[in-house]
Amino acid sequence: MPEFETEDVSKERVALGNGVEVPTSWSVVVSDEPGVPGTIRIEVVHDTRLNRAVAAEVRVLRQGGGDEVTSLTLREVRVQHALQVSGLLVSTVSEPGHAVVSGAGYIQRMQNREGRDLAASVIDATRTYVLAAAINLPPLKAVADGLGVSQSTATRLMNRARVEGLAPGVSLPDLGATGPIAGPAAPNGPGLGR
């Protein structure tokens, strides 16, 4: 199983809105990646034009004698996965009434939160979307998984957030897909309390 370690995390941070911040740069070191005979080092920066974290440099350092870095080795490097995992570790999310936590801590908080009404759901969806987009996670999937709803419900929540002015810059396919939001979840199915 791969191990991820963050290094050189910049003290300078970028506020992305909705309480979400990421460092301007960091490094992630990945060891024990299957198919890669060495250590992977990825330099990550926040790109202001894309408004998200991107890999600026990827290096594979061989472990020692008998190992070789080839194009086949490079194909085994999961750059986006490393960026996403490290992004969850170095990002922070603040929300009223709660301690500031890492992105990973926030996603866990969303998965454990119960009894959301529609207004709280829209705010939680927006904050989760901003976090996910900043670190290259699929944003609507992150909203669906974090809030325990279907992807179509996540889309409706984000369209509602956009219509209410809570999600500037979010571009979704159907502005009219804002209502109705599913009621409480069945014991084994997704849903959202009002």
The residue whose two tokens read 């974290």 is: 53
d(CA 70, CA 52): 29
What's the Rg (C-alpha) of the chain? 19
Predicted local distance difference test score (pLDDT) of residue 116: 84
pLDDT (average), residues 80-97: 93
Query: 19 φ, ψ to 5°?
Result: 85, 5
Report the predicted TM-score, pTM, of the whole model to 2 decimal places. Answer: 0.81
pLDDT at 59: 87
Shortest CA distance to 16 belongs to which of 48, 57, 45? 48
Residue 171 confidence class, pLDDT cut points 50, 70, 90 = low
Query: Which amino acid is it at 39?
Result: T
